[in-house]
Structure 1
């Protein structure tokens, strides 16, 4: 079975990367799909932040191609490819599902996130730029994106106000990011993706309520400090 993992990873990655070309453009859940319409929910990052997907798609393609042509028989890569298949394969349906079922899309993106983090935790130190880095960036962005979906859904189904939904989502994403960074201090790419998303949320709320700006700023600061601590520890270790 393991000999098929590189090929399956390539197919799953291709389906994931090509999915935006076979679905309608996505700019957020349809506000009218919720009992409480979510128009410009405060948890959603500014539009420019989603440009990171271009880098993620390209880097994942490099990872998948390298796995087939250069690391086909590498057991360390196989340990990463298994959970990545389980994340990317179903993830190819996410844009389609998000067009009509925000709740289903929220469940799916947490599925994707779970296996992306599993893949990152398994990634070896070597082959950093073609294995750990793309997986880390992907997992980091999913950490933020999954909690954005959660926040929009919490507000959309009237469980809490949109502001408290944003705070809950930010707290969840921050806690998970700190947990992952503590276990993979050698993966700054993960932290960069989360930081990028939080900056996008902060930009989207400039001029808005102080509560959301403050909560986002605190979340951003925590992840920045956790990432900086890892970088400093790695630099110090290298110096020794």
Structure 2
């Protein structure tokens, strides 16, 4: 039983990676999923940015296999495995849910992000290439994606403000969360993944929506200037 966490990590990683093949593709909430259709909302990065999932899927599989093979029952790996399993287990049906309900998809992706961040902060100092970095990239993308989902869904229901206002709020929310996490972990892979998402927002908005582009650009500068706390472990 002491080795169950390593096995569960591999199982949930495989189900998570295979899940896109078992459901319809997802490229944003459809017009009929929200009262106010959100077609290419300004908070959403350009489509190419989502190619990072290929890297995430592949690296997580490698990490899970290596963990079961070489680090089965390792206390430092086990410390991070349970929250990672939770994130992957919730993420397995996420695409299917996202094609049906924007609200539930948003709730689920925040759970996924919180658990992934927890795993990232618990990641062992050793084996960065085998565990720390892939989990950091996974957590970083979910940090950005959760606020993209929130901004799209909230704008789609006309809560407080429109798509433009929620783009500002989503970017600021992602920046605040990323700053807090990076200060603790010091993991460059984590913050650079969020930077990747912000570049995608810049590409998507360009000069046609200059204020969102400028906020995303300032956010990138701010993230690159942040220094981790003295207690953090840099990856």
TM-score (norm 2): 0.95
The alpha carbon displacement at 1:12 in A equals 0.3
Q: Which runs of 5+ in 1 are unaligned?
A: none
**Match in the other structure for 2:149:** 149
Tell me which residue corresponds to 1:174: 175
Matched, 1:133 2:141: no
The match for 2:8 is 8
Match of 1:46 in 2: 46
How far apart are residue 207 of structure 1 and its match? 2.6
Displacement after TM superposition at 1:225 (Å): 1.9
Tell me by how many angstroms 1:217 deviates: 1.5
Summarize deviations over 1:119-167 as a string: whole Å, max 9, x none: 0111121011001001000000000000000010111000111000010
The equivalent residue for 1:99 is 99
Q: Residue by residue, what CA displacement relative to the aligned partner does 1:59-82 show, whole Å, maximum 9, x if unpaired?
A: 100111011111002011111111
1:192 equivalent in structure 2: 192
1:90: how far off? 1.3
Q: Structure 1, residues 72-123: CA drift from partner, whole Å, max 9, x if none? A: 0201111111100000011001100000101100000000001101001111
Note if contact 1:87-1:112 (Cα within 8 Å) is conserved in structure 2: yes
1:124 and 1:68 map into 2 onto residues whose CA distance is 15
Q: Work out the CA distance in 1 between the residues paired with 2:99 and 2:137.
A: 25
Tell me the SS of whatever aligns to 1:40.
coil
**What is residue 20 of structure 2 aligned with on the other side?**
20
Q: Would you say how many aligned residue pairs link Structure 1 and Structure 2?
A: 231
Matched, 1:30 2:30: yes
Pairwise CA distance, 1:182: 0.4
Runs of 4+ more than 6 Å apart: none
State the partner residue of 2:184.
183
Q: What is the Cα deviation at residue 168 of structure 1?
A: 0.5
- Structure 1 segment 56-71 matched on structure 2, within 5 A: 56-71=56-71
Whole-angstrom CA distance in 1 between matches of 2:225 and 2:2 = 39
Q: TM-score, normalised by structure 1?
A: 0.93
Q: Determine the structure 1 residue equivalent to 2:166.
A: 165
Query: Per-residue displacement from partner, 1:2-59 (whole Å, max 9, x unpaired)?
Result: 4211111100000000111111111111122111111110000000000000000011
Residue matched to 1:76? 76
Deviation at 1:223, TM superposition (A): 1.4
Secondary structure of 2:208's aligned partner: coil
Q: Distance in 1 between matches of 2:56 and 2:138?
A: 6
